[in-house]
Amino acid sequence: MHGATRAGGGDASRFREVAFRRLPLAVMATAVIAGAVFGSHWSVVLAPLPWIVALAVVGLPHGGADFAVSHRAWQGRPLALVWLAYGAAMAAVLAGFVAAPVAMIVAFTVFSCWHFGTAHLDTESGDAAGHTRPAAALLRGCLVLAVPLAVWPEATAAVAIDLAALAVGPRAATELVPAAAVRATGLGLAAVSVAAALAEAVMATRSPSSRWSRVKVLGDLAVIACLGCFTDPLFSVGLYFLAWHGWRQMEPLAESLAGARPRSWSALGGAIVHIHRAALPLLVPTWAAIGAAWWLWSPDHSPRALAIVSIAAYLVVTPAHELLGDLLRQMVGQQIPGSLPATRCLQPGRHG
């Protein structure tokens, strides 16, 4: 019996490695090779595609599951208070974006580095011993945006200008985001990544058992950095969000909402359907809001405009999403993969 359990655990670990690390790495590496061999024009053309796919599959739904996840953790008045805080956070960010769009875009960029980094760190399967959590999170999150900002400042500035135009109009937004400031921000984030990498290296000397897991992380980060270097920034960040950040959330969400971490492709498919169904109460109004904003704001109803509006939606909801994750971490007293609960106390029938 013990041997069978160990074998099952080995099968689960192998499936986890293939489905949630090698598969997304292969997708991103394919884009890197295409960008290196054929140039970046194709990624400019396809740049909105990952964002549009993410609206329906994996990307937006992983945040849309917040209602179902929180309902398993709290009941009654505590749940109402959590959702009051969730709504207040979104309202505050929306008001800030309308009043000072560039400042909020900068804040969102920095916050996204932390959000991406903590999610990456929490969904790693390697030995976490010796981590300095802030440094580890910054190392993993800052590179995602540092490379596109530093390598593609004009294209990244164009995305930021389009975002700001949602609040102030296209004419007023034109001069709000200089490309030089974008590049300086990217170089600053890269410097933070280097400092975080040095901190990680120091910690690695104190925990020799974790060296192989750190080598794997460096390989992951190399692919992510190359993606930002060889492809259009709107495309690279969108593909990272869809194929890495959002996709890897499916495993802990499957445990929380479907009852178990998937150990086969069929189980994973069923869990993803379950997660998306559970996300519908938040997804439907979010889709309606994004669709209405896109239709009203974009004269030509272009795919790029839809991608920009979706990014604006993430700007508004991500702080609340991360706030919920922090509350859940505090409640269970441990780090939770993907900023969402994946522990037994949050399983169906275990509300406590």
Q: With pLDDT > 90 as the criterion, what percentage of the chain qualifies? A: 59
Would you state the pLDDT for residue 350? 33
Q: Is 262 exposed, middle or buried (0-12, 13-18, 19+ CB in 10 A)?
A: buried
Would you state the pLDDT for residue 329? 65
In angstroms, rounded to a whole number, what is the distance separating the alpha carbons of residues 249 and 240?
Answer: 13
* Residue 9 pLDDT class (50, 70, 90 cuts): low
- Is the predicted pLDDT of residue 216 greater than 90, yes or no? no
* Residue 66 pLDDT class (50, 70, 90 cuts): confident
C-alpha distances in Å from residue 328, one per residue of 119, 121, 232, 335, 341: 14, 16, 35, 9, 7
* Residue 335 pLDDT class (50, 70, 90 cuts): very low
Q: With pLDDT > 70 as the criterion, what percentage of the chain qualifies? A: 86
Predicted TM-score of the model (pTM)? 0.88
Query: What is the residue-wise DSSP string for 45-73?
Result: HHTHHHHHHHHHSSHHHHHHTHHHHHHHH
Q: Is 57 exposed, middle or buried (0-12, 13-18, 19+ CB in 10 A)?
A: middle
Would you state the pLDDT for residue 324? 83
- Is the predicted pLDDT of residue 55 greater than 80, yes or no? yes
- Is the predicted pLDDT of residue 3 greater than 60, yes or no? no
What the block records as the tokens of 205 is 């000397």
Would you state the pLDDT for residue 89? 92
- Is the predicted pLDDT of residue 251 greater than 50, yes or no? yes
C-alpha distances in Å from residue 168, one per residue of 98, 172, 175, 176: 8, 6, 12, 10
Which amino acid, 55? L
Q: Specify whether the CB–CB gap between 47 and 304 falls below 8 A.
A: yes
Would you state the pLDDT for residue 343? 37
Would you state the pLDDT for residue 208? 60
DSSP symbol at 194:
H
For the residues 196-209, what does the mean pLDDT come to? 74
pLDDT tens track for 132-168 = 778 888 999 999 999 999 999 999 999 999 999 998 8
Radius of gyration of the chain (CA): 20
Rank 247-261, 294-308, 334-348 by mean pLDDT and report only the highest: 294-308
Would you state the pLDDT for residue 313? 95
In angstroms, rounded to a whole number, what is the distance separating the alpha carbons of residues 309 and 302?
Answer: 11
Q: Specify whether the CB–CB gap between 306 and 51 falls below 8 A.
A: yes
- Mean pLDDT of all residues in the chain? 85
Identify which of 155, 149, 137 has the alpha carbon closest to the alpha carbon of residue 228: 149
What lies within 8 Å, CB to CB, of 220 at 6+ separation is: 21, 25, 120
Q: Specify whether the CB–CB gap between 235 and 242 falls below 8 A.
A: no
Identify which of 188, 198, 187 has the alpha carbon closest to the alpha carbon of residue 132: 198
pLDDT tens track for 283-315 = 999 999 999 999 998 888 999 999 999 999 999
For the residues 259-273, what does the mean pLDDT come to? 91
Taking the alpha carbons at both ends of the chain, their separation in whole angstroms is 31
For the residues 87-94, what does the mean pLDDT come to? 94
C-alpha distances in Å from residue 150, one per residue of 119, 166, 239, 279: 23, 24, 18, 35
- Is the predicted pLDDT of residue 126 greater than 60, yes or no? no
Please give the residue that has the higher pLDDT: either 10 or 272. 272
Rank 12-16, 116-120, 148-152 by mean pLDDT and report only the highest: 148-152
In angstroms, rounded to a whole number, what is the distance separating the alpha carbons of residues 62 and 215?
Answer: 28
- Is the predicted pLDDT of residue 322 greater than 70, yes or no? yes
Q: Which of 20-34, 35-49, 255-269 has the lowest mean pLDDT?
A: 255-269
For the residues 249-267, what does the mean pLDDT come to? 89
For the residues 42-53, what does the mean pLDDT come to? 97
